[in-house]
Each structure stands twice: as C-alpha cells, then as structure tokens.
Amino acid sequence: MLHLDTGNTGFMILCTSLVMLMTPGLAFFYGGLVGRKNVLAIMIQSFVSMGWTTVIWYLYGYSLCFSGDWHGVIGNFHYAFLRGINLSTPSPNETIPAFVFIAYQMMFAIITPALISGAFTNRVTFKAYMLFLTGWLTFVYFPFVHMVWGGGFLQQWGVKDFAGGIVVHNIAGVAALASVIYVGKRRVQDRGPHSIPLVALGTGLLWFGWYGFNAGSEMRVDSVTATAFLNTDVAASFAAVSWLLVAWLNEKKPKLLGLLTGAVAGLATVTPAAGYVSPTTAVIIGIVSGVVCYYAVEMKNKLQWDDALDVWGVHGVGGFLGIVMLGIFANKEFNPEGANGLLYGDPVFLLKQVTAVVFSSVWAFAFTYAMLRIIDAFTPVKVSEASEEIGLDESLHGEHAYEQLTDEDVVHKLVESVRH
C-alpha cells in the first residue's frame, strides 16, 4: 500500500532527472573521443537508447525485471505495458509511487547498453546496433536487474550491489570486450580524440548525474543517502588524481584526458559500494581504481584489443573491482541493511560477491558474443572498409558534425588569409 512521502518522492524525481542527464553526457564524452568523421554516429547510439529503450521498458522490460520470478533468473509479463499500475501502486519503497520507481529504473536501462557502444566505435552498422540494443537488454540486462535487484536468486543469496557494479558497469564492460573480439579492429586509423573539451563537458555531466545514480539508489532521503552522495564524489576525485599521477609518471606529462578518464573509473568502481561503506573506504576505492583501471587500459593496448574508448578497462574492470572491494570493506555501521565484509568479520560475504561478479562476467561475455553472431546471420554487423574510410557520419547517417571543407575551400581560405 502506498504511504506517500512527498520529500522522498520529490528527491527520487530529481535523481531520475539526474540519471537521465548522464546519457547525453555519455554522448558528449564519447563524441569528443572519436575523430571528426564519426562524432554523430557514436552520439546517436546513446541518444537512440533514450528512445528505443524506453519503448522496450514500457512494453516488457520493467515487467521482466520487477514482476514475478522464473527460477530466480527473470520475471514475467504481469506488468507488460505497465498494466495494472495506477496512482496508488507503491514501489519497493512504499513511500514512493511505482511510476517514479519505473522512471528511475528506466534511466539505468537507457545508459547501460549505451556504455558498450564506445568499444566498437566506427565499426558497427546502425541496423545491427539496434538489434544488439534490443537483444542485449532482453537477454543480459533485464535478467541481471531481476537477479540482483528484483528478487532473483543473487539477491536472495545475499549479494549486494548498491547502484550497479554488476548490473550496469561489469556486464556492460565485459560485453564491450566480447564485442571488440567479435567485431575486430578498425581498418582505418581514427584521428580521435578530436575534442577534449567535449570529453570534459561529458565528464562533468556524467559526474553530476552520478549523484542521482548512487545517492538515489537508497530510494529515500536518510543518512545512507548522504553517505552514498559523499562517497561518490570522494572516490571520483581520488581516482582522477591517482590516474593523473600514474599517467604523468609513465607519459611524462599531466594530461587532462587522463584526469577525466580516472574520474569516470572512480565513479564506476564506487557505484556498487557507495551506500555500504565509509568515506575512508571510498578513498581507498578511488585510489585503487585509478591505478588498476589505468593499467588495465595499458594491458589492453599491449594485447592490441581495439576497445576504442576503453569501456572494458574503465567499466568492466571498475565494476568487477567495486564488487570485490565491497566484499572486503562493507560495514553495517554505515548501512545496517547492508553487510559486513571480510575486514569486519564475514569472509563468506566476500566469496558471494566474487562468485556473483565472475558469474555476471561469464554470462555477459557469452551472451554478447553469441548475440552478435546471430545478428550477423541476418544483417552485417561490421561496416565496409569504404564506409570506415568516408566516416560513419556520412556513410551511415548522411550528416556531418562540422562544416565539410573541399580542397577549393581550403585554397580559398589560404588565399584570404595571405591577403589579410
């Protein structure tokens, strides 16, 4: 029964709006990292998720996540088309209407598959991406939402994931790796990042939205909400500085791009732990994520995986790391409804966390790889070499992010500059 609390409801509407802003932020972040000929192609993959994922969420996504239970793995179609949900239907937190919870969870569903798109940038046809978006949500994302948050077997077993270490970052990052291995390398060398200021804008929007992502996952306004909010910023800041320093030592110059990437790594890593650990633990998580994710990206480069925008190194490794570190540092003093980790007397909790994140990694990799093979049987997944050469903005979408200069235009501009 709904016991409406206007404070909690207003807060959750605000958090939903913040998480919504993260997807355009991701579009800017990824858009700045690619070359000038592929900006719109990568940005549309984020923005189209805002539209198409909402359609799927309304049709059957919310229902598969949060209604019924089939062997602890997936829900049923009881809430398909949001039928039977009205003004007095409560959410899992009875002080918030179901409609607010539906909208909040929908924003998570929108950004998660969009994260993967950074891995296979400049290589995948739009038709294949739309099929991938649909299949991946249905067979990877929705099951893990149900298993971890919707009453499924991982939740029943005692696995904790405050805001999406498994449900968002780990499965998206591992899916990115599977996609890269399946699709292969870019044939044409990309000249990105073409706009680091655009990456900085995207990082700012992501960081800002992440407060809604993590603090909002408490589903009410209390002391745990405040802890999650603080931990989010602390981990991001320490990770940004750690990545900057490690990169500075290795590359001899302090680079803005490293600072920005480090912040996102810290945000991804603290996500599962934000509402279950102390601010001091958030410091440790930040430092460890900045260093480990940096070297994960370095390892990827040595192995020559063409994960264009480091989705695996930042989100896959960050999500994995966050779940494991939660198993070590979880502390009921900071959330009585949480758990005690290894350092606070419960090694079994760490074992559960490690088992769950290994399971999610295997599932996400296998299903993603298989899905791409199936899609390829119906429509080509990879664009042609000619399409890569021209750039996907022109070849797939017939649009340009920037003014296109012909050789005559360049000569004319040179002549004009000499005259003046």
What pLDDT is recorded for position 398?
87
Q: Is 333 exposed, middle or buried (0-12, 13-18, 19+ CB in 10 A)?
A: exposed
Spatial separation of the C-alpha atoms in residues 311 and 224, rounded to whole Å: 29
What pLDDT is recorded for position 413?
63
Exposure pattern of 26-40 as b/e (b: 16+ CB <10 Å)? bbbbbbbbbbbbbbb
What is the residue-wise DSSP string for 130-193?
A: HHHHHHHIIIIIHHHHHHHHSS-HHHHHT---SS-IIIIIIHHHHHHHHHHHHH---SS-----
Asked, for residue 385, whether it belongs to a domain, the answer is yes
Asked, for residue 276, whether it belongs to a domain, the answer is yes
What pLDDT is recorded for position 43?
95
Asked, for residue 413, whether it belongs to a domain, the answer is no
Our count of domains for the chain comes to 1
Spatial separation of the C-alpha atoms in residues 224 and 122, rounded to whole Å: 42
Asked, for residue 412, whether it belongs to a domain, the answer is no
User: Which regions in the chain score pLDDT beneath 50?
Assistant: none
Give Cβ neighbours of residue 302 (< 8 Å, ≥ 6 apart). Answer: none
What pLDDT is recorded for position 181?
93
Number of helices and strands (H, E) in the chain?
18, 0
What CATH number is given to the structural domain containing 241? 1.10.3430.10
- Mean pLDDT (the chain) is 94
Asked, for residue 83, whether it belongs to a domain, the answer is yes
Inter-axis angle of helices 6-33 and 39-56, nearest 10: 150
Asked, for residue 411, whether it belongs to a domain, the answer is no
The answer to whether the CB of 314 falls within 8 A of the CB of 30 is no
Enclosing domain of residue 233: 6-397
What pLDDT is recorded for position 408?
63
What pLDDT is recorded for position 187?
86
What pLDDT is recorded for position 334?
95
Cα torsion 21, 26, 29, 32: sign: negative
Asked, for residue 162, whether it belongs to a domain, the answer is yes
Angle formed at CA 128 by CA 125 and CA 131, multiple of 5 degrees: 150
Give Cβ neighbours of residue 381 (< 8 Å, ≥ 6 apart). Answer: 124, 125, 128, 132, 182, 183, 372, 375
Asked, for residue 409, whether it belongs to a domain, the answer is no
